Structure 1
Amino acid sequence: MRVLVSGASGFVGSHAVAALIAAGHEPCLLVRNPEKVRRVLGAGEWVVHQGDIRDAAAVRAALDGCDAVLHAAADMGVTGHGADLRGSNVVGLRNVLGQAAELGLDPIVHVSTIAVFVPPAEPLITADSPLTSPRNAYGRSKVEGERYARELGGVTIVYPGGIAGPGQPTLDALNEGLRAGLRWGWPVVPGGVSVLDVRDLAVALARCFTPGLRDRRYLLGGHFRTWGELAEICAEVTGRAGRAYRMPGGVLRGMAAVLDRLKRLVPIDYPLTRDAADFMLTLVPTDDGPTLKDLELTLRPVEDTVSDTLRWLAAEGHLNPRRVGRLAP
C-alpha cells in the first residue's frame, strides 16, 4: 500500500515510516525541508514531496497516486515552542484529511493526542470520553481539528499520550521534560504522566492500515506514572539518586506563570509553562486495553523506554553523560 506520511521527518512520522516499511508498505513523504529527510531518515530512495500542510495545492499534489494517508504532522505548544498552532493543527489537518477523503483514500489515519480529553471529566480516560474545553491554545487547536476529523467520517484516529524514546529530531515535550528532571530535579506534584514509547506508537500506526475499517478510535496513552514514580524510575535506571521537590499544585502553577512572563524577556532553557503545569496536575490514566487487543500490541516496559531515552539524550549531547550514570555511552 502506498501511504503518504505528513510530518515524515518529525518524531512520530520518522518512526512511523520505518514501521510502515517493516509492515510491507511504501511510504511517500510530505515534508517542508527535504534536507531534513536525509538527516533524520538517512540516505535512501525516498519518494519526497516538498510542501507545507497549510498549502492545499501542495497537499493535493502529494496525495496523488497514494492509496492511504498517515497524518502525523502537528505543531506542539505545551512547552513553549509552538508556532502557528491553528495553521498546522486545524487548517493543515483539513487540507490533508479532507482532500484524502475527496480522493477516496482508505485508510485515512490521523495522529491526535490525549490532550483533547484533558482536563478529564472522569478518573479514567477512554476513547469515548467527552472532548474537553482546554484553556491553552494548543489544546483548543487540537480539539478543533478533532471535531473536524470526527465530522468528516471514515477516519481512524489514534490518541497517544506523552511520547518518549530515542531519535527525536527536535527536542520537545516529554523528552524535554525527562532532560529537565535529571538536570534540575523533579517537581513532585499531584497528577502524573502517561509514558508511551514512540516505537510502540509507530507499530500501532502501521497496524491501522487495513482498508475498509472506518471511524475507528484508538486510545494509546501508555504507562501512567505519578511524578514521584517517574523520578524513582529515573533514579533506578541511572543508578543515581535524583532530586525531588514536593509541592502543592498551586505552587507549580504559580512558578509556571512567572516563567511564562520571564521567557518573554529572556531565554530560559526550562520546559515548564502554565499549559504544561495544567497537564501535569490533571492527567489521569487511560484505558488502552481495547486498542492493545485490537491491534495485537504489547507495550514495552516503561523502564526500557526511559533508559533508551536517557541514553540517547546523553549520546546526542542533550544531557551531560554524568547525569545518566550507568547509562552513559
Structure 2
Amino acid sequence: MRVFITGGTGFIGHYVARELLASGHELIILTRHPDKIAALTNHPKVTLLSGSIYDAATISKGLEGCDACLHIALGWGETPLAMLENDTRATVLILQAASRAGCKKFIYTSSTAAMGKFRSVMNENVANLPIDLYGATKAAGEAYVLGFRATAMKRNIIRPGYTFGNPAFENSGVSQPDKRFALMAQAIVSGGEIHLIQNDGTQFISAADQAKLFHRVLDSDLNEEIFLGLSASWISWKEIAEEMLTDYEKITGQKSAAKIVEQNLGWSDQPMLFSVDKIASVFNLTFDAHEEMKRHIDWQLRNALSKR
C-alpha cells in the first residue's frame, strides 16, 4: 500500500512509519525536517516531502497515487483562532485533498483530550466535552472527519492517550515532547526534589503499541469508527519516580539524594480509567506498558547521567 503520512518524522509518526515499513508499505512523508530521522531519510521505500500541513500544493502532489492518508501531525496556537487555523483548518485541508486524490482510507489522529470532562464511563461512545483549546480543536477535527460523507474514502479516528517511548530507530529518532520524564531523571541525578501530584497517573501506552493500533486500523475495512489508543494498565507518576530511583542505585551503586514531594489536591486513590474494550474486541489488542516503561525509565536516566 502507498501511504501518505503527516508528522511521520515526529514521535508517534516515526513509530508508525517503522511499523508500516516492516510490513512492506511504501511511505510518502510530509515533514518540515526531512533530515530529522536518518533511518527514514535513507530508506528505499520512503519519500520525504519538505513542507508543512498548511502547504496545499505540496500535500496534493504528495497524495497522488496514494491508497491511504494518515494525518498524525499537530498544529498549535495560543488563542482559539490560532488553534482553529493551525490545526482544525489544516485537518480539513488534508482530509479534502486525500478525498480528491482518490485515497481509499483516512486516519485522523485525535486525542483523549477531545473527550474532556471525565465521567463514570469513558469509552468511544460518550459525547466530547473538551475542557481546553487542544481538546476543542481535536473534537472539531473529529467532527469534520465524521461529517465529511460526500466521499467514498473510509475515515477513522484514533485517540491516543499519553504515549511514551525511546527513539524508534537505533541512533535515529525522537522521544515524546513532554519533558516530565527527563526532568524527573535530572532531579534524581542532581539530588533535587521530584514534584508530583498525589494519585496522579494514567494509562500510559508505548509508541510501539500505539503504532500497532494504527496498523490494524489501516488494514481494516472499517469506516467512521473511533478507537482509544491506551494501555489497560494504569501507572502513577509516583511509581515511575520510585522505579527511576531504584534504577539509579543499580546503575551507580549509590542512592540518590532526591526526594519525592507530593502535592495533595484531594485526588482519589481510585484511578479514573478509559475503556479499552473496543480495541480488544475489534482487533484483539490489549496493551500493558510496564515492561516498556522500565526500559524508558532506564533510557531517560542514562541520558541524564551522561550529561552530568
Instruction: Give the TM-score taking structure 1 as reference length.
Output: 0.75
For 1:253-272, list aligned pairs within 5 A: none
Matching residue's letter, 1:249: L
Q: 1:237 to 1:190 in 2, by over 3 A?
A: same
Contact 1:66 1:105 in 2 (8 A): yes
Q: 1:231 to 1:119 in 2, by over 3 A?
A: farther
Report the counterpart of residue 305 of structure 1 in structure 2. Answer: 292
Contact 2:107 2:155 in 1 (8 A): yes
How many angstroms apart in 1 are the aligned matches of 2:127 and 2:40? 37
Are 2:97 and 1:94 aligned? Answer: no
Matching residue's letter, 1:220: G
Q: How far 1:108 sits from its partner (Å)? A: 0.8
Q: 1:294 to 1:236 in 2, by over 3 A?
A: farther
1:59-106 residue CA offsets vs partner (Å, 9 max, x unmatched): 1111111011111111468xx9xxx64444212211112221233312
Q: 1:76 to 1:199 in 2, by over 3 A?
A: farther
Contact 1:237 1:303 in 2 (8 A): no
Are 2:42 and 1:43 aligned? Answer: yes
How many angstroms apart in 2 are the aligned matches of 1:236 and 1:97? 47
How many angstroms apart in 2 are the aligned matches of 1:33 and 1:322? 26
For 1:133-152, list aligned pairs within 5 A: 133-134=130-131, 136-152=132-148
Which structure shows the bigger proportion of residues in helix conformation?
A: 1
1:117-166 residue CA offsets vs partner (Å, 9 max, x unmatched): 1222x1342011210132x3322222222221221253111111101000
Are 2:224 and 1:215 aligned? Answer: yes
Q: How many residues align?
A: 280
Contact 2:110 2:138 in 1 (8 A): yes
Classify the secondary structure of the residue corresponding to 2:261.
strand
Contact 1:106 1:211 in 2 (8 A): no
Q: 1:227 to 1:313 in 2, by over 3 A?
A: closer
Contact 1:127 1:217 in 2 (8 A): yes
How many angstroms apart in 2 are the aligned matches of 1:304 and 1:112? 26
Q: How far 1:237 sits from its partner (Å)? A: 5.0
Matching residue's letter, 2:241: A
Of 260, 264, 279 in structure 2, the residue corresponding to residue 248 of structure 1 is 264
How many angstroms apart in 2 are the aligned matches of 1:233 and 1:144? 38
Classify the secondary structure of the residue corresponding to 1:156.
strand
How many angstroms apart in 1 are the aligned matches of 2:243 and 2:11? 23
Report the counterpart of residue 169 of structure 1 in structure 2. Answer: 174
Classify the secondary structure of the residue corresponding to 1:104.
coil
Instruction: Give the TM-score taking structure 2 as reference length.
Output: 0.80
How many angstroms apart in 1 are the aligned matches of 2:122 and 2:275? 6
Matching residue's letter, 1:231: A
For 1:75-224, list aligned pairs within 5 A: 75=75, 85-120=83-118, 122-134=119-131, 136-153=132-149, 154-167=154-167, 169=174, 172-173=177-178, 176-182=179-185, 183=187, 184-210=193-219, 212-222=221-231, 223-224=233-234
Classify the secondary structure of the residue corresponding to 1:209.
helix
Classify the secondary structure of the residue corresponding to 1:94.
helix
Classify the secondary structure of the residue corresponding to 1:249.
coil
Contact 2:204 2:230 in 1 (8 A): yes
How many angstroms apart in 2 are the aligned matches of 1:10 and 1:58? 19
Give RMSD over aligned pairs. Answer: 2.9
Contact 2:4 2:70 in 1 (8 A): yes
Contact 1:23 1:206 in 2 (8 A): no
Matching residue's letter, 1:216: E
Q: How far 1:314 sits from its partner (Å)? A: 4.3
Contact 2:111 2:135 in 1 (8 A): no
Contact 1:34 1:50 in 2 (8 A): yes
Report the counterpart of residue 231 of structure 1 in structure 2. Answer: 241
For 1:278-317, list aligned pairs within 5 A: 284-299=272-287, 301-315=288-302, 317=303
